[in-house]
Structure 1
Amino acid sequence: MARRNSESTWPEPLPEAEPLVCALCGRETPTLTQHHLMPVLQGRRKGMKVQDLPTVGLCSACHGYVHSTFSNADLSGPYSTLEALSENEGVIKFVKWVKKQPVSKAVKVK
């Protein structure tokens, strides 16, 4: 007959991970992409190391929209902060629309 062991040999369950939230639209998403608030090329021209450039986590829809709408010159100048991006009229309209879309839907931006 087998002995009963009162102590479990199974590993402890992993704690649930915090949901990832897009910094621009606020949607919960399974993955985030890192958006450099100052483009890498402009940052390197200013003598900054790539790992020192500020980043923010965006969902793929918002990240695609930002890069399709703004040039690197815009992103290194007037839109180099999350606050400046979120106050742009076009971004406000996009965020209002994208919040209604399911995260599983592939959003195509022009």
Structure 2
Amino acid sequence: MARRPSQSTWPDPQPEAEPLTCALCGRETPALTQHHLMPVLQGRRKGMKVQDLPTVGLCSACHGYVHSTFSGADLSGPYSTLEALNEHEGVTRFVKWVRKQPVTKGVKIK
């Protein structure tokens, strides 16, 4: 009697995921966080649904920097677009620095 090949209980190997790119610094990272260009609270006050608010994918370092630097009022007003964030002098300096850091390094934001 011939042996039947046994069914493997191991999951099929997953193809290597494409690295994601941060919209602010341009680094490739395995995971991104969604940044609401208009803060959720201000969007709700204007009668918008949360799922309708515009978002961009940012690495955790950039996302933390944006929220530690700008208030909700700033993010809903003059800095409600990616272009406006990129033009800010502090963001420009941070992005220039963070691009030199490996993605695996934990970046502390003051």
Task: Tell me whether 12-21 or 51-60 shows the greater mean CA deviation.
Answer: 12-21
One-letter amino acid matched to 1:59: C
Task: Tell me whether 12-21 or 98-107 shows the greater mean CA deviation.
Answer: 12-21
Report what 2:74 is aligned to. Answer: 74
Identity %: 87
Q: What SS does the corresponding residue of 2:56 show, helix, strand or coil? A: strand
Q: How many residues align?
A: 107
Report what 2:30 is aligned to. Answer: 30
Q: Deviations over 1:79-106 (max 9, x none)?
A: 0000100111000000000000010010
Task: Tell me whether 38-47 or 12-21 shows the greater mean CA deviation.
Answer: 12-21
Which runs of 5 or more structure 2 residues have no equivalent in the other structure?
none
One-letter amino acid matched to 2:86: S
Report what 1:107 is aligned to. Answer: 107
Which runs of 5 or more structure 1 residues have no equivalent in the other structure?
4-9
User: Following the alignment from structure 1 to structure 2, what is the Cα–Cα distance between the partners of residues 19 and 64?
Assistant: 20
Query: What is the Cα-based RMSD across aligned positions, in Å?
Result: 1.9
